[in-house]
Amino acid sequence: MNINQKVGENIRLYRIEQGYNQDDFAEECQISRAYYGRIERGEHSITLNTCERICKTLGISIKDLFINIC
């Protein structure tokens, strides 16, 4: 599993824990559904701006996305 996949998996787990489906979460983050899906699957490197939007929506810090990465 590469770093993009690990970050995507962490985002997915936080999203599910908070009860969001992919469509509603992407909309709340103001990210296209297709782009969000690629991030979650680890097919796209996430930008810091997008990290910030996702973290604000989830109510977590950016460092939380990188737990258990290394």
Residue 70 placed within a domain? no
pLDDT at res. 38: 96
Q: What is the CATH number of the domain that holds 56?
A: 1.10.260.40
Number of structural domains found in the chain: 1
51 domain-assigned: yes
Tokens of 31: 């990210």
According to the model, what pLDDT value does residue 67 have?
Answer: 83
Residue 60 has what pLDDT?
96
Indicate whether 44 belongs to any domain.
Answer: yes
Tens-digit pLDDT profile for residues 16-35:
999 999 999 999 999 999 99
Residues lower than pLDDT 50 in the chain: none
Global pTM reads 0.90
Q: Which domain holds residue 13?
A: 3-63
Contacts 24+ apart (CB under 8 A), 62-69: 64/10, 64/14, 65/7, 65/10, 65/11, 65/14, 66/7, 66/10, 67/10, 68/6, 68/10, 69/3, 69/6, 69/7, 69/10
Q: Are 22 and 41 in contact (CB under 8 A)?
A: no
